[in-house]
Amino acid sequence: PEEFADDMRFVFSQGLLYPSRDVVHKIAMKFCETFENKWKSLNEEWTLEERKLKKIHKRKREQGVYDNERKGLNFQM
């Protein structure tokens, strides 16, 4: 994902080389702002999802240890 973001930033930077009054510059500026805002929100969502998945996996491991102890199977995971 970071390589994609870097590629997009490079594309926008090329459009920003045009004079500030040029329509290409204005479009590149708008796309750049929109992209950065969306990229930030996607990264936040991905971070939240990653945390949720880690909690789920942790609960499953803990439940597995509990189940094994209850059954009398005491071994390290």
Side chain identity, residue 57: H
* Count: domains in the chain: 1
The domain containing residue 42 runs over which residues? 1-75
Give the tokens for residue 3: 């390589």
CA separation for the pair 13, 1 (Å, rounded): 18
Regions of the chain where pLDDT drops below 70: 73-77
Q: What is the pLDDT of residue 31?
A: 96
CB 5 within 8 A of CB 39: yes
CB 58 within 8 A of CB 77: no
Q: What is the pLDDT of residue 73?
A: 62
